[in-house]
């Protein structure tokens, strides 16, 4: 198993857009805050202080991870607006969590006053956490080696989201499935969390065509084409059938590769 395979496996376990690396980072951050007895925690026994910060950081991390995909869809390609919106969206529920779990696990009392005064502290930590997540993802997403892509392989924006076996294979098609994309290659397929609009932008220089609101097909992936009543169907090399809607059929039938596949 190569280093690339290990890293791919490490990234595959995710909650929302967060993975194992982010949760490990939060746990270590919690250990640091417990060790320095942050926020006047000197009088709290260590046997309670360390579990408290682990529950606070990991529980807050899960809440943020669940919220993040929704915020990301509202601010695509706008990292500053996304970071600000993420902080605004995640702080109230995490402040509520920080106020509630001590009641459940440590028998403390809950008051709205505690919730109110804990919110600024939660916001301060959230700013650090968002920065930590950005640094962690930047480090993990940095390519371990620079290798030229094989002819017909997916573009880099798609390749970086695929297992190595699929990233090196010839691209057949891209199919939208809810909030995910199914990337079809000659070596198999995989679901990735990505908008079709972003994938189409990455595929602009690739040899293929959009054939449906949910499909993009590579020219070399088409085995046969059938046309009827202004629509069509493309049989792909992996056995899948891609629909051709009326919106794209006219332009598609005017291309040489569609005529050759018919």
d(CA 45, CA 102): 14
Q: What is the pLDDT of residues 194-211, one digit of tens each?
A: 999 999 999 998 989 999
Under the banding of pLDDT at 50, 70 and 90, the label for residue 193 is very high
- Is the pLDDT score of 212 beyond 80? yes
Query: 131: left (phi > 0), else alpha (psi -120 to 50), else beta?
Result: alpha
Share of the chain above pLDDT 70, in %: 84
Pairing state between β 241-244 and 231-236: antiparallel
CATH topology of domain 156-261: OB fold (Dihydrolipoamide Acetyltransferase, E2P) (2.40.50)
- Check residue 257 and give its pLDDT: 58
Under the banding of pLDDT at 50, 70 and 90, the label for residue 39 is confident
Average pLDDT over residues 127-154: 70
- Check residue 16 and give its pLDDT: 60
Give the 3-state DSSP-derived string for 152-172, with helices as H, strands as E and coil as C: CCCCHHHHCCCCHHHHCCCEE
Higher pLDDT, 142 or 7: 142
Six-digit token string for 78 = 């706008």
The residues facing 227 across adjacent strands are 232
For the chain, the straight-line distance linking the first and the last C-alpha, in angstroms and rounded, comes to: 43
User: Which ranges in the chain belong to alpha helices (H)?
Assistant: 3-12, 20-35, 46-74, 79-106, 112-141, 156-159, 164-167, 196-202, 246-253, 256-261
> Largest Cα–Cα distance in the chain?
78
| Residues in CB range of 69: below 8 A, 6 or more apart | 16, 17, 179, 193
Q: What is the pLDDT of residues 6-37, one digit of tens each?
A: 445 444 556 666 778 778 888 998 899 899 88
Q: What is the pLDDT of residues 46-72, one digit of tens each?
A: 888 999 999 999 999 899 888 988 888
Q: What is the pLDDT of residues 218-248, one digit of tens each?
A: 999 998 888 888 888 899 999 999 999 988 8
- Check residue 71 and give its pLDDT: 87
- 259 by DSSP, 3-state: which? helix
- Is the pLDDT score of 148 beyond 70? no
Q: In degrees to the nearest 10, what's the CA dihedral of 27, 28, 34, 38?
A: -100
pTM greater than the 0.75 cutoff: no
| Residues in CB range of 185: below 8 A, 6 or more apart | 154, 162, 166, 169, 170, 171, 172
- Check residue 10 and give its pLDDT: 45
The residue extents of the domains of the chain are 3-141, 156-261
- Check residue 96 and give its pLDDT: 93
């Amino acid at each position: 198993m190569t280093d690339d395979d290990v890293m791919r496996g490490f990234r595959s376990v995710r909650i929302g857009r967060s993975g194992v690396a982010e949760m490990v980072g939060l746990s270590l951050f919690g250990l640091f805050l417990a060790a320095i007895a942050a926020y006047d925690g000197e009088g709290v026994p260590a046997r309670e202080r360390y579990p408290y910060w682990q529950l606070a950081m990991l529980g807050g991390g899960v809440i943020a991870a669940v919220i993040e995909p929704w915020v990301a869809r509202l601010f695509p390609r706008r990292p500053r607006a996304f970071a600000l919106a993420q902080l605004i969206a995640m702080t109230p529920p995490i402040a509520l969590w920080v106020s509630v779990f001590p009641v459940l696990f440590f028998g403390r009392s809950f008051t709205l006053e505690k919730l109110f005064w804990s919110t600024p502290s939660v916001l301060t930590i959230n700013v650090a956490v968002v920065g930590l997540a950005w640094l962690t993802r930047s480090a993990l997403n940095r390519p371990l080696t620079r290798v030229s892509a094989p002819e017909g392989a997916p573009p880099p924006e798609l390749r970086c989201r695929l297992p190595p076996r699929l990233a090196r294979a010839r691209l057949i098609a891209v199919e939208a499935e809810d909030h995910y994309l199914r990337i079809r290659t000659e070596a198999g397929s995989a679901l990735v969390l990505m908008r079709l609009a972003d994938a189409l932008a990455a595929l602009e220089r690739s040899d293929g065509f959009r054939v449906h609101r949910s499909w993009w097909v590579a020219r070399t992936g088409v085995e046969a084409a059938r046309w009827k009543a202004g629509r069509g169907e493309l049989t792909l090399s992996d056995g899948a059938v891609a629909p051709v809607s009326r919106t794209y059929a006219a332009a598609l039938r005017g291309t040489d590769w569609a005529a050759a596949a018919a």
